[in-house]
A and B are shown apart, each in its own frame.
Chain A
Amino acid sequence: MKDKIIKITSRYQNDRHRLMDILIDIHDLQGYVSDTDIEVLAQQLGMSEVEINETVTFYHFFSKKPRGKYNIFLNNSITAFMRGREKVKKTLEEECGTKIGSVSPDGLFGLYSTSCMGMNDQGPSAIINDKVFTNLTPYRVRKLIADLKSGKTLDEAIYESTGDGNNSDPDVRSMVFNNIRKRMILLERNYKKFEVIRNLLIKHSPDEIVGIVEESNLRGRGGAGFPTGLKWRFGRRVEADHRVIICNADEGEPGTFKDRVLLTEFPDLVFEGMVIAAYATSADIGLVYLRYEYRYLYKYLNRILDEMRKQNLLGENIAGVKHFNFDIRIQLGAGAYVCGEESALIESLEGKRGEPRDKPPFPVQNGYLGYPTIVNNVETLAAAVRIVKNGADWFKGFGTTDSLGTKLLSVSGDCKFPGIYEVEWGTSIREVMEMSGADDVQAIQVGGPSGVMISVKDIDSLGTTDLMKWYKPSGMMVAQKTFDRRLSYSDLPTGGSIMIFNSQRDLLNEVVMNFMDFFIEESCGSCSTCRNLPFLMKKKLEKIVSGHGVRKDIDDLLNWGRIIKVSRCGLGQTAANPVVSSILNFRYLYEQHVKAMADFDNVFDMEKSVEAANNFVGRKTILHHV
């Protein structure tokens, strides 16, 4: 193994910044990385072993223990549970002969849980050796596992049929479906590939391109909504030898999958956006940070990049523009939601654990390897192409005054037609419900667990929607508003995740608990607050749900939810949102559980707590009551 590792590291010039690639290559080879491998790596890269170990143990898809021949990562997002995940899990465990979190005795199967993998509209889904399996049912699981046991390859086993559109491309061949339900200016089919690079760049100076994007008022589609033109201008302004454009394709917010669809159907559009951004900011380094869950697109995306290189749309003097040199490399993540945060993403790109940086300095000042770095979401880059092509005025014809253009919504949960909806900004939540065929709605989660939860109380008789914005990372709380809130940066900003819950759903026990598990699992752990509070809050919530809560527990949760807002990055700052917002909007659910009269209950159960010792010494439990 030692020689093989040395071969791998030399493929990357023993560059420690490529540690992610090196570790992925080692996993491809033997499925895990052992302590002796780490020893070799440390020597080759000039690092200490604990430093290598730090990266290895951070990412969910890396392992220090041998895994199975087939490793099944079953998705655990809330909508998967709503579509029968428990049964699927049970069947998997039975058929594979092992429990989630372990490897079967014959070494054939490793079973694991994994956070939302961008397939909420077709869950429960699983990743098996980098391939995606969607719409799992106990029947399909039984068949699949039987096939694998009988020696069929994954490719033979799965593909009853491949998905729509480019999901059937020979380099993709996945069973994933795009489920595009509504197309507007971004998803419309009339896209002529690379027109802007070929024809327009030569006509405009970089400054003019930045100007067009600024004029259009395009704002980041990754969730934070930072004005894109301004970000580009910042990046341009900083003196540096190199500048970096990063396409953020980490898409980790539970419930979003629109970047996956864009990358499947319009990869050229996204890459063209990167080239335009590079031209506008004089950047020469391009990186796509692709979440590991989307590895099934890796080969296909690289093929497009190769085609672009052949056509001189990447490389040197691109499209005949003198001194415009730029190329793109795709970097795979390895399973960590926080790596979607731009500075954590940069750390990860540098081969380190995905721990967000303190800001300031911002990535535009000091990013990848210290160079000014512009991080943009997949959708933002795609929109930029349309804007440069058609002009800012055209773009301004869509949306509302403060939120121009359209937004891709990833709709999932209790509705008839989950999938991708491209809507104009300003569309109301009610319209989204109607479009997606959601008749029975108790609550809607806008923007994923860290976003906004909306309650729809008795919508027919009241005729009003009871909406309240979760407080934003800045600590601002917006007063309750009524009826038909609209998706916009000033009212209901969103990265596009819309999850719908019908009246049968147990919001506290199922939904909020699931979201808290997500934050507990995904925190980088660096902040004292974010490392500890989600866990403590979940424990408190369990106490309440189990009937042992008192009024003070609700107040405690609100107080704790304020403390966590001092965390470093958006993950920690919003990690209490599921609890806090459900208290604000669904207080009656909490009131139902807590004891109205008691002011103290700490769940202590004498019988349970003496059980272990009594069993060990061999005596009966006899309780004397005082």
Chain B
Amino acid sequence: MSTTIRFKIDGKEIIAEKGQTIVEAAKANGVYIPTLCNFEGLPPKGCCRMCTVKLNKRYMTACTTPAADGMEVESDTPEINDFRKGIIELLFVSGNHFCPACEKSGNCELQALAYRFKMMVPRFPFLFPQKGLDASSPKLIKEQNRCIMCKRCIKAIKDDEGRSYFAYQYRGNKLEVILDKKLGKEISDALARKAMDTCPVGSIIYKELGYYQPIGKRKYDKEPIGSDIEVQQ
């Protein structure tokens, strides 16, 4: 039985393996679908809605939807791109993102997406929510002002028994992601670094490490996010 499937994204023929999500299949075919909460190797959980595409007149998240034969996916359209830009703007106004003073600036995926979508100013008013910072772990700082609740750290950072170091707290617009006080005290060096690298923004900071790359040499200084996927073709 053939495991190859064919479908289309914005009219472009995509050849994929059965079981791949739309995002994975797109990537393998040199098509970039913007993602934010998705992280290779972790089970997807459609939190950010950045990868929204249109499928049979319905909005679906491409990071969670398996590719299927004959699909006609709309992705790079004015409508969808306006939603995506809107989502980026939402994440900016609902947190406190002072890029000029952020350790992650230049390597931040949220910022990079804002560049790619040419966000000059959010369409929403800035909310300046009151948020704190937890520096009780000897290795990590959890900077709540920057967290976008993408859930990556929750899924990625676990101990040997599968217990999460991070978890959600509360719900709705009070939602936050917190670090377990006990586990955070004993977190290993490697896991702490992994936590920082998993976070798309500057919400998990490895202590005493910051601004270590000069401006111009950072990940998104020169090339837009996603351009590595697009050049592959």
Contacts and interface: CB of A to CB of B under 8 A. Distances in A.
A–B touch (CB < 8 A): the answer is yes
Interface of A: 46-51, 53-54, 57-58, 336, 353, 358, 360, 474-476, 520-529, 531-536, 539, 556, 559-560, 562-563, 565-568, 602
Interface stretch (B12-20, B25-33, B163-171, B204-212): B163-171
Contacts of A50: 164-167, 169, 178-180, 183
A58 B66 CA distance: 30
Interface string B159-198: 1010111111111111100111111000000000000000
Most chain A Cβ neighbours within 10 Å, of B52, B165, B172: B172
Contacts of B171: 57-58, 336, 353, 523-525
Given A358-B44, A522-B172, A527 B49 contact: yes
B64 A358 contact: yes
A48 B59 contact: no
A347 to B, nearest CB: 12
Interface stretch (B83-91, B101-109, B221-229): B83-91
Contacts of A539: 125
Contacts of A520: 172-173
Contacts of A527: 46-49
Contacts, number: 137
Contact of A525 (B83, B125, B173, B178): B173
A563 B87 contact: yes
Given A50-B178, A475-B59, A525-B173, 6 more contacts: A48-B167, A50-B180, A358-B44, A527-B47, A556-B123, A559-B86
Contacts of A336: 171
Contacts of B175: 525-526, 531
A535 B90 CA distance: 11
Contact of B45 (A358, A560, A562): A358
B96 interface: no
Contacts of A358: 44-46, 61, 64-65
A525 B170 contact: yes
A569 to B, nearest CB: 10
Contact of A566 (B52, B164, B180): B52
Most chain B Cβ neighbours within 10 Å, of A521, A523, A531: A531
Contacts of B90: 528-529, 532-533, 536, 563
B23 to A, nearest CB: 13
A2 B33 CA distance: 50
Given A525-B149, A528-B91, A535 B57 contact: no
Given A48-B163, A358-B45, A475-B58, A563 B86 contact: yes
B124 interface: yes
Contacts of A353: 168, 171
Interface residues of B, number: 51
B172 A54 contact: no
Contacts of B201: none
A54 B149 CA distance: 13
15 contacts: A46-B161, A50-B165, A50-B167, A50-B179, A58-B168, A353-B171, A521-B172, A525-B174, A526-B47, A526-B149, A528-B149, A532-B90, A536-B125, A566-B83, A568-B46
| Nearest 8 Cβ contacts at the A-B interface | A525-B175, A50-B167, A48-B163, A358-B64, A50-B180, A523-B172, A54-B167, A563-B86
Most chain B Cβ neighbours within 10 Å, of A474, A522, A527, A534: A527
Contacts of B149: 525-526, 528, 531
Nearest to A35: B181
B167 A560 contact: no
Contacts of B45: 358, 526
A93 to B, nearest CB: 23
A118 to B, nearest CB: 21
Contacts of B48: 527-528
B46 A563 contact: no
A523 B173 contact: yes
Nearest to A565: B59
A336 B171 CA distance: 10
Interface in B96-141: 123-125, 127
Contacts of A47: 163
A525 B47 CA distance: 9
B148 interface: yes
B164 A51 contact: yes
A528 B87 contact: yes
Most chain B Cβ neighbours within 10 Å, of A54, A528, A562: A528
Contacts of A525: 149, 168, 170-175
Contact of B165 (A46, A48, A474, A535): A48
A128 to B, nearest CB: 24
A48 B183 contact: yes
A528 B163 contact: no
Contacts of A559: 86, 123
A560 B172 contact: no
Given A358-B64, A568-B46, A529 B87 contact: yes
Given A58-B170, A529-B87, A566 B59 contact: yes
Contacts of A532: 90, 93-94, 124, 173
A476 B58 CA distance: 9
B169 A54 contact: yes
Contacts of B127: 535-536
Interface string B40-58: 0000111111101000011
Nearest to B158: A48
A559 B171 CA distance: 25
Nearest to B94: A532
B201 to A, nearest CB: 12
A531 B173 contact: yes
Contacts of A474: 57-58
Contact of A54 (B165, B168, B179, B182): B168
A403 B104 CA distance: 56
A475 B172 contact: no
Contacts of B169: 50, 53-54, 57
Nearest to A521: B172
Contacts of B52: 566
A51 B162 CA distance: 11
B166 A528 contact: no
